[in-house]
Chain A
Amino acid sequence: MDRIKILLVDDEHEFVTTLAERLELRNMKATIAMDGETALGHIENDPPQVVVLDVMMPGLGGLEVLEKIKAIDSKIQVILLTGHGATKDGIRGMQLGAFDYLIKPIDIEELVKKLNEAVKGMI
């Protein structure tokens, strides 16, 4: 089976690089983007299967990026990362077409499970 292609979008460099490394260790192909614009560029050039997207980002916000991704290719699955107490953002994201949302700090095993479900859902 092919490695799942993932795009991680979060403005927190340390977080996103470490998460990418952990996913690589779990046999996934993770690309990093530090902001919404870069992320959209990646999606145009090399569309991933799943995007893990932080809701709170400077510049283009997570929900806006989500809308744009869905506009480019509605098949790309998006998992949102929200802070605690921002459940509303998560629900709003689901309404906009996100696959699911996770509350930070996340549990890696749960994320892996969701990623797998997302890919399955795509097929």
Chain B
Amino acid sequence: MDLKKWFNIKESLQMLTDVDSSLDRYRLFQRNIRILMIVLTIVPLIMMALINYHQYQSSLKQEMIDPTKLLVSKTRHSFEFFLNERQSLIKSISYFYSLNDLCDEKTLNHILFTLKKEFIGFVDLGLINGSDGRQICYVGPYNLLGKNYANQDWFQEVTLKGAYISTVFMGYRKFPHIAIAVQRLEENGESWILRTTIDTTMFDNLIAAMGLDAESDAFVLNNKGIFQTDSRLYGKVLEQCPLKIPTGGHATYVVEKTDPSGNDILLAYTHLTYPEYTLVVVKPKSTVLRTWYALKSDLFLVFLAGAILIIIVVFRLTGIMVNRIREADQKREIAFRELQHHHKLSSIGRLAAGVAHEINNPLAIINEKAGLIKDLIQYTPDFEQKEKFSNLLVAILQSVDRCRTITHRLLGFAKRMEVEIESLDLNELLEEVLGFLEKEALYRNIDIGLELAKDLSRIDSDRGQLQQVFLNILNNAMAAVDDEGRILIATWEKDADTVAVSIQDNGCGMSEETCRHIFEPFFTTKREHGTGLGLSITYGIVKKLGGDIEVTSKENEGTTFKIFLPKKSIA
């Protein structure tokens, strides 16, 4: 269908001004108004909701992420501080003591004892010859005296750079350790190396100090992605970390990722300057964004409630509005048709009156001429065929009388066009109306039964209008019954102020649905034959006369109309 035409409100409005009662027209109009109103209200609501959504999202996310970032940075500094401090400590010892002092196991033992006492994590202390890599003095829990480190990477590195901090390794005690080594160059060109191992309890302490919640995780990786500390979620120390952490950069970064188990996580990480450690904090997105999710669902609920409310209001309002328009249209149309009907009748009335008057004059002349002839015959002595002339004149005068009756009736019809309240006998009126239908009833062998109350009170009402009411209902009854059907008309006193008439037929009857609509204007079951106005006009007349009308019907059993009329006119 042509969309433009579909949603054309202007056209819908114009359609309404045409005199046409098609229900489709109102449905179309109602639908277009509804679409327009809903679009006009929901679109701004959606836009506002989206803007709110994005603003809240960005601000809240920042609010959630920033503290994590800060925490990671702080902890990184703690790590760096810890490692630098230990390295400086060893370096200081190498300067404070001469090679000879340190070669003495007693002194070395004393130093280790002091270190253990004042600082956490020191395990052993060894002195290594800078030229051949042999351990010349060692204090600690293992028997490492004389061990040669010349072929080890760290030895190469410490001789090259002067200091070295290892990644975590399992010592002989199967406990994670790191080794720190510093080189001391003597003025005579000789060099020696002081090496210590420290367990990583302090790493765990630093991570614990972050005070993360139970669902979060924090750990340290080396540059190959090997765990340097235990991870609560992803593995033990010295295992390979399943998460891929981007390398490079020394700032703190926050990225959103999905971990191997498929959980959405927020990954905060930072690379230490030296050694090449990476501090990683993992927080499930759901916990970080819990507030956001709650807010989001609140936002959504508010939006949904608003939208539903709008839709309900729009539907109710347009329903009421379109109904009002439809009712107004119908009223206008009924008034229009009634006016037309009235005009038609009054034209007929005027025509009838005109005809009656025009015929009256020649009739008066005929009357007088015949009268004169009669007079003349009376005053003339007997002549041949006097008797016959007299008889002929009587016949002429009788015909004049008949014509007079006709013109009087015509004038009476014209007069009936005007609404007039008079005292009338309802039984008499019903019999009068039945006179119109007698021929048809006889021809179709329809049995019309009368059960009229004998002492029915006279009522003040409009004869012509009531005739129309009963004629209409009786016509419908005649249409409803089959040949040889039965129509029963009854009258009775309902109460002190009201008389009642019932017209009952044993015709085809109506469904409940039809019954409900029967007095509505333009409702017809006769399709092209009826205007759908008959019973609505009937209803209108009865109401106007201060009465009431009701209908009961059962399909295939028949229909009963009951009309209640006030004894005293309310007009």
Chains A and B belong together in one complex: yes
Please list the residues of chain A having a beta carbon within 8 angstroms of any beta carbon in chain B: 12, 14-15, 18-19, 21-22, 25-26, 56, 83-85, 104-106, 108
**Which of B360, B368, B375 makes the CB contact (< 8 A) with A84?**
B360
The total of Cβ contacts below 8 Å across the A-B interface reads: 59
A26 cross-chain contacts in B, Cβ below 8 A: 375
A1 to B356, CA, bound (A): 41
Contacts of A105 in B (CB 8 A): 360, 363-364, 367-368, 400, 404
The 0/1 profile, CB within 8 Å of A marked 1, for residues 396-417 of chain B is: 0000100010011001101100
Q: How far is the CA of A95 from the CA of B92 in the complex (A)?
A: 148
Q: Say yes or no: B375 contacts A83, CB within 8 Å.
A: no
Instruction: Say whether A22 contacts B371, CB under 8 Å.
Output: yes
Partner of B365, one of A12, A22, A85: A12
Do residues A83 and B365 form an inter-chain contact, with CB atoms below 8 A?
A: no
Q: Is B357 an interface residue (CB 8 A)?
A: yes
| B369 beta carbon closer than 8 Å to chain A | yes
Give which listed residue, A19, A56, A83, A85, contacts B368 with CB less than 8 A: A19
* Interchain CB contact (< 8 A) of A15 among B361, B400, B411: B361
**Residue on A with the closest CB to B414?**
A85
A12 near B375: Cβ-Cβ < 8 Å = no
Do A21 and B364 have beta carbons less than 8 Å apart? no
| CB atoms of A84 and B407 under 8 A apart | yes
Indicate if B379 sits at the interface (CB-CB under 8 A).
Answer: yes
Q: A84-B356, A84-B411, A85-B356 are in contact. Are A22 and B361 (CB under 8 A)?
A: no
Chain B residues with Cβ below 8 Å from A21 are 372
Whether B123 is near chain A, meaning CB under 8 Å from some CB there, is: no
A84 CB to closest chain B CB, in angstroms?
5
Docked CA distance A22–B404 (Å) = 21
Please determine whether A104 and B372 come into contact, CB atoms closer than 8 angstroms: no
Q: Once bound together, how far apart are the Cα atoms of A83 and B363, in whole Å?
A: 11
Size of the chain B interface, CB-CB below 8 angstroms: 24
Return B494 CB to nearest CB of chain A, in Å: 37
Q: B478 within 8 Å of A by Cβ?
A: no
For residue B361, which residues in chain A have a CB less than 8 angstroms away from its CB? 12, 15, 104
Contact B369 A83 (CB under 8 A): no
Asked if A15 and B368 make an inter-chain contact with CB atoms under 8 angstroms apart, the answer reads yes
Chain A residue at minimal CB-CB distance from B412? A85
Q: Which residue of B lies closest to A108 (CB)?
A: B371
Q: List the 6 closest pairs (A to B, CB-CB), nearest first.
A: A85-B411, A105-B367, A18-B368, A105-B364, A14-B365, A104-B364
* A10 CB, min distance to chain B CBs, angstroms: 9
Nearest chain B CB to A69 CB, angstrom units: 22
Could you say which residues of chain A place their CB within 8 Å of the CB of B414? 85
Q: How far is the CA of A25 from the CA of B378 in the complex (A)?
A: 10
Report the separation of the CA atoms of residues A56 and B361 in the bound assembly, to the nearest whole angstrom. Answer: 11
Within 8 A of A (CB), among B326-369: 353, 356-357, 360-361, 363-365, 367-369
B360 touches A104 (CB 8 A): yes
**A19 — nearest CB in chain B belongs to which residue?**
B368
Smallest CB separation, B413 vs chain A (Å): 10
Give Cα distance in the complex from A31 to B361, angstroms.
20
In whole angstroms, how far apart are the Cα atoms of A12 and B358 in the complex?
12
Given contacts A21-B372, A25-B379, A105-B360, whether A84 and B408 have CB atoms under 8 Å apart is yes
- A22–B364 contact, CB under 8 A? no
CB neighbours of B375 from chain A (8 A): 22, 25-26, 108
